[in-house]
Structure 1
Amino acid sequence: MANSVVLVCRRKVLSADKITRAEFIRALKRELPPAIAELQAANVSPADMPQSAIGPGMGVFSRYRAVLEADDSPMTVKTALQLINAELDEFLNDLHGEFDADTRFAATWFEQHGTDKGDYGAADNLARARGISVESVKHAGIVDSSAGKVRILKRAELDPDWDPADDDHLTIWECCQHLIRVLENDGEYAAALLLKKLGPDRAEMVKDLAYYLYDVCSNKRQDAKEATSYNGLIAVWTDLTRLAATIRIEDVNRQTAMDI
């Protein structure tokens, strides 16, 4: 849960306008995404994001004297909160479209099946819709495909010696999964070193994917264990990025050579 909740009350001006439900939704679509992006930039944990998004959303709602429904009745706070949550879901779903095709396949397949097996035919259709093939996703080290079945590889099945510099088919999905694997198994320094190797652009995409997959695990698959892994990554993201900034890959490589 959030460490603290700050409630700011302001006197509503007498000249405040009334708006319609449609106008309120348009205002949310205009103002909520940049506010959520700022919360992500501040590394607000995925578990706290729904509560945190209420602030800027209700800021829009309370700006007006009333938000009128189709029958001219005032919109309730409950309805406003539902609309705010819907906009948050849409924002997270929009992140999905920015990933590479293999990652978008994996995210959708994971949402539907988790790490359980699914039919190859369904996977083939999903991959073709993204302009790739199941073999492409398999080559990327994301899935296992055999005997007419496809499944997402668990983190425990990933190569423990994986290095992004040596991967000729690098995807944001595997960057995210390897980062969580290293963090949970080897600690923050090892995870910061991997984050350094990924570079700032891939790192931001990994963070976006962690937010998206937390939402999938928590709200759609009801998988608390997996949700905790993604939430845990974001919870230490600031520490990882600060630590990564102090690491020089040249020094690490030189030390490795000396040890040999």
Structure 2
Amino acid sequence: MPDAIDDIRKAGVAPVDMQQSVIGPGMGVFSRYAKVLEDDDSTMTVKVALTRINAVWDEIENESDAALDAETQVALAWYASYGFDAKPSGDLITLANARNVPQSALFSSGVFTDLKGRSALTPRDSLPSNWSPSTDKNLTIWECVQHVARVLNAEDGGTEKAALLVAEMGSVTSDVRKLVYRMFEIATQKGWSAEARVYNQLAEEWTALEEAATSLADPANAGAAQLGLI
């Protein structure tokens, strides 16, 4: 299923449709056999099979989380609990210690903002407009997602400028895309409709952004695009 899920994402399936989409490859595993039995030798029902498929999907998502950089793991755990709300700094210290990342690194990376006794994820509209993945000395997957979302919807941004950022991300784009889907799932579970829309839009446009980024990787195309954006 991991490869099938990755293929579904690469195909540009919106996060809102992922839960339904993973049923196909999941049921495909069961349909290879004439009968699937439970531990007591009774026939497994479709309802139980769907439950198993969703459980495996959750396991795959959790494994993907563990593969992310430490700062992003902390940010993801914070987001799942508090969103972009400010909380006592002790809460951040606990999350940081659990992942063996210095609290100072969370602030210096720009992922979190130090509010003197309180901490919060840096809001998208407060992120630096001159940020570049190619010059960020401590690049995090979290930053990549938030900056592309910011630029895509900014008055002075749009698809081309967002694609320029994606072009500079290099090999981490696959992890960035995965995090976009993960963020949508969390926002949906929490009932944060505005946040969910941000990540659903970003996922729907991700394939187009990657295609534009590939074109921009050509020096001739990149130069022309930069001139057009000045």
Q: Report the TM-score, using the length of structure 2 for normalisation.
A: 0.89
Residue 122 of structure 2 aligns with which residue? 153
Superposed displacement of residue 236, structure 1: 1.2
Q: Deviations over 1:18-56 (max 9, x none)?
A: xxxxxxxxxxxxxx2222122223232222111111011
- Find the counterpart in structure 2 of residue 98 from structure 1: 67
Among candidates 45, 48, 52, match of residue 76 of structure 1: 45
Q: Is the 8 A contact 2:216 2:225 kept in 1?
A: no
**1:46/1:254 Cα in 2 relative to 1: closer, same or farther (>3 Å)?**
closer
Gaps of 5+ in 1: 1-31
Alpha carbons of 1:113 and 1:41: their partners in 2 closer, same or farther (altered >3 Å)?
same
SS at match of 2:134: helix
Given residue 167 of structure 2, which amino acid in structure 1 is its aligned partner?
A: K
Q: In 1, Cα distance between the equivalents of 2:95 and 2:206?
A: 32
Partner SS, residue 236 of structure 1: helix
Q: What secondary structure, in the 3-state scheme, does the structure 1 residue paired with 2:36 have?
A: strand
SS of structure 2 residue aligned to 1:164: coil
CA displacement at 1:67 relative to structure 2: 2.8
Residue 164 of structure 2, aligned match among 193, 202, 207: 193
Which residue of 136, 155, 158 corresponds with 2:105?
136
Shift of 1:255: 8.2
Which structure ranks higher in relative contact order (CA pairs < 8 Å, sequence separation ≥ 6)?
2
Q: Which residue among 242, 245, 250 is the counterpart of 2:211?
A: 242
- Cα deviation digits, residues 168-227 of structure 1 (max 9, x gap): 22211111100111111111111111111122x1211211111211121112x2212212
**Corresponding residue number in structure 2 for 1:212:** 182
Which residue of structure 1 aligns with residue 201 of structure 2?
232
| 4+ long deviations beyond 4 Å | 248-257
Q: Identify unmatched segments of 5+ residues in structure 2.
A: none
Who wins on radius of gyration, i.e. which is larger?
1
Does residue 170 (structure 1) correspond to residue 144 (structure 2)? The answer is no
Structure 2 counterpart of 1:152, one-letter code: L
Residue-by-residue CA offset, 1:147-175 (whole Å, 9 max, x unaligned): 32111111111111212233222211111
Pick closer, same or farther for the CA change 1:91–1:256 going to 2, 3 Å.
Answer: closer
Deviation at 1:71, TM superposition (A): 4.4
Q: Which residue of 2 aligns with 1:12?
A: none
RMSD: 2.3
CA contact (8 A) 2:112 2:119 kept: yes
Provide the rounded CA distance (Å) in 2 between the counterparts of 1:165 and 1:117. Answer: 29
**TM-score where L is the length of structure 1:** 0.79
Residue from 105, 111, 117 that aligns with 2:86: 117
User: Offset at 1:253?
Assistant: 6.0
User: Take 2:76 and 2:8, find their aligned partners in 1: how far apart are those partners?
Assistant: 23
The percentage of aligned residue pairs carrying the same residue is 39
Say yes or no: does 1:127 pair with 2:76: no
